[in-house]
Amino acid sequence: MQEFRLPDPGEGLTEAEIVAWKVAVGDEVAVNDVILEIETAKSLVELPSPFAGRVEALLAEPGDTVEVGSPIIRIADGADAAPEPVDPTAVETSEAVADVQATITHDEPGAVLVGYGVRGDAQTRRRKPRTVEQPPVRNEPARPASVPAASAVPTIAKPPIRKLARDLGVDLVSVVGTGLAGEVTRDDVVRAAEQPSVFKNLETPAAWSGDREERIPVKGVRKAIAQAMVDSAYSAPHVSVFVDVDATRTMEFVARLKQSTDFAGVKVSPLLIMARAVLWAARRNPNVNSTFTGDELVVHHYVNLGIAAATPRGLLVPNIKDAQDMSLLELAKALEHLTLTARDGRTQPADLARGTITITNIGVFGMDTGTPILNPGETGIIALGTIKQKPWVVDGEVRPRFVTTVGGSFDHRAIDGDIVSRFVADVASILEEPALLLD
């Protein structure tokens, strides 16, 4: 009999909340099988089992807050676990399940406490389905994503990938998996989706119940957000500026990128041009990309670009490390990966740390502008408002143009109004004329 104690998932935490068990008493588990989800102050983390055997007891309930080091599950090894009676009617089903389970074999020894198991370069193979009606065909040509596989093997996909497919309206049966063992990957789902967006995961709740009030405990991510916003608002004197921008050429540029073969299968939006504009403006106004410590101003000669994302777990600000070194295509892929991971609730602690400047895209909610609060430790945050057609004076004539508002908040302890104004003006100039990025 072995007990698995709650580990620290790499954040220096003292406790975490049990979100959901992926196993039940009596289930057989293998090393690295995901057994539960926990919520920390920063992220949702899956924990794999360090042991193989039969689940004897779950020592915590969903919703419980458990201290690191406390036992959370008991697993009996093969010698301790008593075999369950075999149901003869379930033999055929069991064989199909065995085929699926056998698609992945782990050759790397040792238990992994945090993550998704051993490395993906372990030896893998996909077994032929045991069917009489559909014998296996060798050298079968690749099927288009719209044609379901004629196979008895169920679709192989991890729970986060299944949730992502549900959110994006993708039928997994119609998706051909490209993973090492034939499993459906995140990229497979994204390619099958029409318009993946991190901001389309907010569902309308059901009608109010008979209770007049609901009390929601402030903990986990919400507690961390609340404390961070208070610390930022009352420690950094905010100054905010705004400017209206003719973004017609940005919209034309985005349309051309969508038609480019280089960007085929990659999500392209005005946020990509905004991100590139912020990187360009930060190089011209380096003090905006800094951290104020009280004793000194630490100016960063790199940009870990944060993107504020509204997710089912609350506001998260994951960042793209060293975004200044990326090409436009690399930046587009990084933005897509960041937003989809946040949408799926799988943003890791490392992706939330060490940001240097942030973009909040409030335009996706139809907002023109706002006064965002600084992400703690940063001196600047830029807000991109909605882009919509408005009457605009061009060469003395009123014409319909795509117009947006760029706003931002800055730490007035670190930077003065002239630097703030130049920085926002530089961002606006790129949205007005993206060709400046070629300089």
What pTM was computed for the model? Answer: 0.60
Active site residue 106: no
pLDDT of residue 188: 82
- Cβ atoms of residues 390 and 401 within 8 Å: yes
Question: What is the pLDDT confidence band of residue 179, given thresholds at 50, 70 and 90?
Answer: confident
Q: Is the pLDDT of residue 392 over 90?
A: yes
Q: Is the pLDDT of residue 439 over 80?
A: no
Tens digits of per-residue pLDDT, 138-169? Answer: 444 444 444 444 444 567 887 778 877 887 77
Query: How open is the CA angle 135-141-142, to the nearest 5 degrees?
Result: 110
Q: Is the pLDDT of residue 297 over 90?
A: yes
Question: What is the pLDDT confidence band of residue 205, given thresholds at 50, 70 and 90?
Answer: low
| Domains present along the chain, CATH in parentheses | 1-129 (2.40.50.100), 155-194 (4.10.320.10), 221-438 (3.30.559.10)
In the set 106, 238, 337, 412, the catalytic residue is 412
Mean pLDDT, range 124-141, rounded to an integer: 41
pLDDT of residue 349: 81
